[in-house]
Amino acid sequence: MCLAVGAGYAALLYSAKAPWSRALNYGLAALRFVVVSFLCFLLLSPFVKATTTRTEAPTVVLAVDNSQSISLFTPKPALSQLTAGLPQLAATLRDKGFRVETRTLTKAETAPDSLRFTADRTDLNKMLADSREANADRNLAGVVLVSDGLVNHGQEPQSAEFNFPIFGVALGDTIAKKDLRLTDLAYNRVAFSGNKFPLEAEIGYEGYAGGAATVEVREGGRVLESRRVALQAGQRRLKTTFLLTGPAPGKRRYEVRVVPQAGEFTVLNNTRTAFIEIVKGKLRVLLAGAAPHPDLKALRAAILANNNFDLTLAVAGVGAPLPAGTTFDVAVLHQLPAKGNLGQELLTRVRAARVPVLYVLGAQSDFTAYSQLATGLSVQPRGTQTDEVTPLPNPSFSRFPVEEESRRRFGQYPPAQVPFGELRLSGGAEAALWQQVGRLPTQKPLLVFGSATATPRAATLLAENTWQWRLQEAIAHDDRPEAYDRLIGRTLQLLTQNANKKRLDVYPTQDAFGTQDDVTLGAETYNAVFERIYDQKITLTLTDSARKTRTVTFSNPADGSPLHLGPLAAGTYRYQARATLGGQAQQAAGEILVQNQPLEAQESRADHRLLAQLSRRSGGQLYYPAQLDKLAQDIAARNFKPVISSEEDLKDLINLKWLFFALLALLTAEWATRKYQGGV
């Protein structure tokens, strides 16, 4: 039909007698026939199919453990073999058609001939997981893991599953070096002034069996206690406990040190530091319930797991009533206030004492009475409906930390019941935990803290049957439900800590930082009635031990993100912060400790069994630096194939620009010819 239209149009236009030759007339008619026919064809919306073929070469990742332990404990000939052979391995694999990338613990991509073994911690699981994620859309053939197998940070890699073969290259030395080291230091982070508290030091030794070592405890350069310990033959480790007396309240730093001896391979691992908060005395906790409930047993166990708490238990209508002279510093009220005024006497006693309270809500709670207590949370349930939720930490809540391990354990908890309805925060209240319903995270509060300046302070846990959380965690983690116990303990400690009466508070986010850590400071600002305010200009002056100063100006955003100072050299830094709040000058001061953390010097004996296990489970094999040529041959022999992919693209013909210009050229040629020959 398009051809008929084109032929008819050309015949109509060129059938009359023309002033040019017959041959030229036929040519012009042909041009018009082609243009009109093609324009008609374009009206039918034709399209063209384009196919693009792409070949993805197999990728091999050289994952190099560039931690300090490699250079400390790997024999020099083996390390030289590796640093010389790794670039050659990469070149050989490329010649065989592989795409090769090199990554380390500290760099996502680097060159194999520019390795520096300076990382102060080893997380092999993260490096392998990052290799997998970075090549999720590529043809990943395998990972060459160059390491000594010593892991001191993150998750153990053998507990993870990897869908690619791992070819281990073993470094380090399986023969232990002659060394004394402080392998662990156990202590409670809080102790009581005037009471004895323990510091338990674990000493590891190689090559000194049958002798003795001197272990000492120092504070501020002063030796508090020193003792000689016998290093028993046939053993590699021993423990010794120091009992110190708590000084005046405040934060204390104690250094435990194994005195170096002649012939030690390194003294970097001879010292560890303990940071202990000295407080006035144990917190007296009242745990009161409206009725017997398994949650009370779980809460009781969590509270007693902390040596800083003394516990009194009272259940309405069960056993003897609470003695009239009982005093307490903080109360945990389980489902109080309750329906039918159950346990009203206990509730009255607690409110009269004006102490901080942790409310635990449940099916027996009187939500109307609770919402009138000015806790910072009001609950309006919809009948007896409940949601089943697990805890989800609120990343914006900075009043106490939640470790990554605790986050992981929270995600494994069985669901607990919470009231379904309208939950409203007010009066400066903050949610420490959100509710996660199945796999769906929400911003409904689960654990709420009222205003830090309220009197008395209050927190609310909306979940019932949390005893299942503690039980599940105890079963899964060798009877150590640490995440649950820490959550309850930190909640009570936060409720009872001294109210912040400073309008400007700037503080380090952790007790001590390593030399490769990003040093961060948190900042809080308050108005004249001690309500939190944000985005205030703060000027901070940082002074090191050589009295060199550095000045930083920043603001405190509403999301609670800290000030990032970046890595700092080892030493003690003092800081002073200034701000003008409501027209009044405010200041805060403190101290930052940055120390060399010799994690990489703690263990000198390489763990080649871990590398062999990873290689065997993933379908790979273990090699040594002298076998890099064989490694290249074995990888090539596996006959990894490139992935060929094709992509089809349908394009409308009318959208091709070159067709427009071709038609325009034809019409222009016709017009110019007619004009030249004297036509219209």
Task: Say if CB 217 and CB 271 are below 8 A apart.
Answer: no
Whether residue 551 has pLDDT greater than 80:
yes
Lowest-pLDDT range of 13-22, 389-398, 607-616? 13-22
Domain residues for the domain of 242 are 179-279
Please name the residues in contact with 46: beta carbons below 8 A apart, sequence gap of 6 or more: 652, 653, 654
207 and 170, same structural domain?
A: no
Residues 342 and 436 in one domain: yes
pLDDT at 453 over 70: yes
Cβ count near 569 (within 10 Å): 10
135-185: pLDDT as tens digits: 888 888 899 999 988 888 888 888 788 889 999 999 988 887 888 989 888
pLDDT band, very low/low/confident/very high, at 2 (cuts 50, 70, 90): confident
Q: 187 and 169, same structural domain? A: no
Same domain? 455 vs 576: no
Residues 525 and 556 in one domain: yes
337 preceded by cis ω (within 30°)? Answer: yes
Predicted local confidence at residue 25, as pLDDT:
72
pLDDT of residue 680: 56
pLDDT at 432: 93
pLDDT at 500: 47
State yes or no: pLDDT of 484 exceeds 50. yes
What is the pLDDT at residue 388?
94
Nearest to 370 by CA among 467, 450, 490, 283: 450
Q: What is the DSSP letter of 318?
A: B
Mean of the pLDDT values across residues 309-323? 86
CA–CA separation, 382 and 212 (whole Å) = 70
What percentage of the chain reaches a pLDDT higher than 70?
A: 96
Q: Among 561, 595, 629, give the residue marking a domain's end.
A: 595
Omega into 19 within 30° of 0, i.e. cis? no
Supply the DSSP symbol for 338: B
CATH of the domain at 386: 3.40.50
Assigned domain for 291 exists:
yes
Mean per-residue pLDDT, 262-284: 83
Residues 471 and 614 in one domain: no
Q: Does 419 lie in the same domain as 303?
A: yes
Quickly state the pLDDT bin for 529 (edges 50, 70, 90).
low
Which tens digit of pLDDT belongs to each residue from 91-108?
Answer: 998 998 888 899 988 888
pLDDT of 73: 86
Same-domain status, 654 and 634? no
User: Band of the pLDDT at 202, cuts 50, 70, 90?
Assistant: very high
Residue 185 shares a structural domain with residue 170: no
Mean pLDDT, range 425-452, rounded to an integer: 91
In a domain, 600, yes or no: no
> Average per-residue pLDDT in the chain?
86
Q: Would you place residue 498 in the very low, low, confident or very high pLDDT band (cuts 50, 70, 90)? A: low
- Residue 106's CATH number: 3.40.50.410
Phi, psi values for residue 651, rounded to 5°? -120, 135
Who has greater pLDDT, 176 or 562?
562
**If you average pLDDT over residues 73-93, what whole number do you get?**
89
Domain count of the fold of the chain? 5
* Residue 455 or 288, more confident: 288
Q: Which residue has the higher pLDDT, 399 or 476?
A: 476
CA distance 552 to 285: 43
C-alpha of 151 from chain center:
18
Tokens 């985005």 found at = 535
Work out the percent of the chain whose per-residue pLDDT is above 90: 36
Q: Of 496, 513, 530, which residue sits at a domain end?
A: 496
**What tens digit of pLDDT does each residue of 31-45 get?**
777 877 777 877 777
657 compared with 441, residue with greater pLDDT: 441
Rg (CA), the chain: 37
280 compared with 617, residue with greater pLDDT = 617
First to last CA, the chain: 28
424 phi/psi in degrees, rounded to 5 = -125, 130
pLDDT tens digits, 236-269? 899 999 999 988 887 788 999 999 999 888 888 8
Does residue 311 lie in a domain region?
Answer: yes
Q: What is the DSSP string of 224-265?
A: EEEEEEE--TT-SEEEEEEEEE--SSEEEEEEEEEPP-TT-S
**Is residue 623 scored above 80 in pLDDT?**
yes
Number of helices and strands in the chain (H, E)? 14, 33
Instruction: Provide the pLDDT for residue 571.
Output: 81
Q: pLDDT grade, residue 526 (50/70/90)?
A: confident
Residue 654 lies inside a defined structural domain of this protein: yes
Q: Tell me which of 611 and 176 has the higher pLDDT.
A: 611
Average pLDDT over residues 54-60: 85
Q: Return d(Cα 451, Cα 240) in angstroms, integer.
A: 44
Residue 503 predicted with pLDDT over 50: yes
CATH number of the domain where residue 523 is located:
2.60.40.10
- Same domain as 662, residue 611: no
Q: Which long-range contacts (CB under 8 A, 24 or more apart) does 413-416 make?
A: 413/468, 413/469, 413/472, 413/473, 414/390, 414/468, 414/469, 414/472, 415/388, 415/389, 415/390, 416/388, 416/389, 416/390, 416/463, 416/464, 416/465, 416/466, 416/468, 416/469
CB 523 within 8 A of CB 556: yes
Q: d(Cα 156, Cα 151) in Å, to the nearest integer?
A: 7
Give the mean pLDDT of 423-443: 91
Half-sphere exposure of 154 (CA within 13 A, CB side): 16
Q: What is the pLDDT of residues 458-469, one digit of tens each?
A: 999 999 999 999
226-241 burial string, b = 16+ CB within 10 Å, else e?
Answer: eeebebeeeeeebeee
| Residues 344 and 412 grouped into a single domain | yes
pLDDT value of residue 528: 67
239 and 349 together in one domain: no
Domain endpoint, select from 533, 567, 595: 595
